[in-house]
Structures are given as structure tokens and as C-alpha cells.
Amino acid sequence: MKIGLFTDCHYCNGGLGGGRDAKASFDKTKIAMEEFKKQGVDICFCLGDLTDNGQEDTKETVADCFVKITELIRSYGIPYYLVPGNHDYLIVKADELTELIDFKIPPYTVKTDKCNFIVLDANYRSNMERYDYAGVVWTDSNLPPEQVEFLRQELDSSDKDCIVLVHENLDPYVHPWHIIKNTDEVRNIIKESGKVRMVIQGHYHAGAERIIDSTPYLTLPAMCEHKEDYFKIIEI
């Protein structure tokens, strides 16, 4: 089974600072999807921050960007899921995204013959309110108790290997601002289950790869900041 991955496109009409090329992400996504198609990828995920709210952007222009880039991705006919990132909740709410692009609100599990993909959402502040309602504080990321329990149950009941996907970082060795506050608790569940084949994340734009408790923790490099290696195909 081949899995196509990319993250942190930050696609929008307006300008972004910090060396982020928002507009180039449209063509980069196209290049990634063409390669996924060519290589027979079975399923693909964006690990979040698909869009952004740049200077001069409005809710309408951001919504338009969500639609344009999602239509591009779906035009290749490969099953696709968006793992939401903090920037995806800046101006459009999750329910509105569902209306707009048929966004599936986590947590949920995509079950396949080969493995179960557990998709989580850590875009919650310490008071456990989600960013789209509470306002984004990107340094205050938490996996709420319901999702911790969901993860535990999904792992308990799974008869297959699992892959855990979440935008913010469970890897405790990236820059501390990027790390999910209750990562220790979540990593412990992953370790105890013995069923997690890999943890895949975005958010930390430099990217990182680490083995923790015998499990690979992959943080994909951000598409908007990299001219190479801005997508990945893994085979399981």
C-alpha cells in the first residue's frame, strides 16, 4: 500500500512573511498529485495548514482557496483526507469547511485492508475549546480528553497496524512551541498499544524524523518553505 503525504501548503492569495511562498503551493500540490498518480498511491493526506489567511485575504478569498486546491487534489481520484492545521481554522470554521469542501471533522479512523489511519485534531486551547471558535493560539495545542479516549479505544480494538496522523507535534524533541501539551500522555498510549506503525505530523516546518519507543515519528517538511522534498510517498 502506498501513502501520499504533504503538509503546510499555506495556500492563499495574500502575501505571507517568513519565507513562505503561498502561491507556489498550488503548482507544488499539482506536482505531488501527479507523482502520486504515476506511482499508484492508494490514499493521500495533507497534514494541515492547507491554506492560510494572508495579507489582503478575506474570508471569501480563503474559502475560495480551500475550494480551488481541494478540487485540484480530488481531480486525481485518489482518496484524500485533510488533517486540520491551526491555519486552516483562522477564518473558516470546521462546520463551514464541511459544507465547502466536504471536510471530515476528526477524530475518525480510515480503515483499509492493510492498516487503520487514526486522524486526530489537536487544534484545541488549554480550555479545550477548538481554535475555530476560541481563536488560534498556535503555541497552546492540546489533544482533548475525548480524543485521547478515542485513540485508546481505536488502538485497543484494532486488529491491524495503525498510523496516527495529527498536525501538531507529538515528537517531544522539535521546538517546544510546536509540541502538543499532553504529548507524554498520548505517546504513552501509543507505546502501550504496540500497534502504531508510524506517527505522522506537520506543523514544524523544518521537518524531523525520529524513532521514539521503537515507533517512527515523521514530521513532514512544509511545502511552502521547501523547493525540494515537499511531498513524500511511503509504502507499508
Q: What residues make contact with Fe ion under the rule CB under 5 A?
A: 8, 49
CB hemisphere CA count around 77 (13 angstroms): 3
Nearest-approach distance from CB 136 to Fe ion, in angstroms: 11
Nearest-approach distance from CB 64 to Fe ion, in angstroms: 20
Phi and psi angles of residue 87, each rounded to the nearest 5 degrees, phi first: -70, -25
24 vs 189, which CB is nearer to Fe ion?
24
8 vs 121, which CB is nearer to Fe ion?
8
Nearest-approach distance from CB 174 to Fe ion, in angstroms: 13
Cα gap 142→122, rounded to integer Å = 5
89 vs 150, which CB is nearer to Fe ion?
89
22 vs 119, which CB is nearer to Fe ion?
22
What stretches of the chain adopt beta strand conformation (E)?
2-6, 43-46, 80-82, 108-111, 116-119, 162-165, 196-201, 208-212, 215-219, 232-235
15 vs 40, which CB is nearer to Fe ion?
15
49 vs 121, which CB is nearer to Fe ion?
49
**Cell numbers for 189:** 498510549
Nearest-approach distance from CB 8 to Fe ion, in angstroms: 4
The strand pairing partners of 195, in sequence order, are none
Which residue type is seen at 226? Answer: H
- What b-and-e string marks burial along 49-74, b requiring 16 or more CB atoms within 10 Å of the CB? bbbbbbeebeeebbbbbbeebbeebe
- Which is it for strands 215-219 and 196-201: parallel, antiparallel or unpaired? parallel
Nearest-approach distance from CB 204 to Fe ion, in angstroms: 8
Nearest-approach distance from CB 228 to Fe ion, in angstroms: 18
Q: Kindly write down the DSSP assignment for every residue of 190-207, as one continuous string.
A: HHHH--EEEEEE-SSTT-
Nearest-approach distance from CB 222 to Fe ion, in angstroms: 6
Angle between helices 183-193 and 145-157 (to 10 degrees): 10
155 vs 180, which CB is nearer to Fe ion?
180
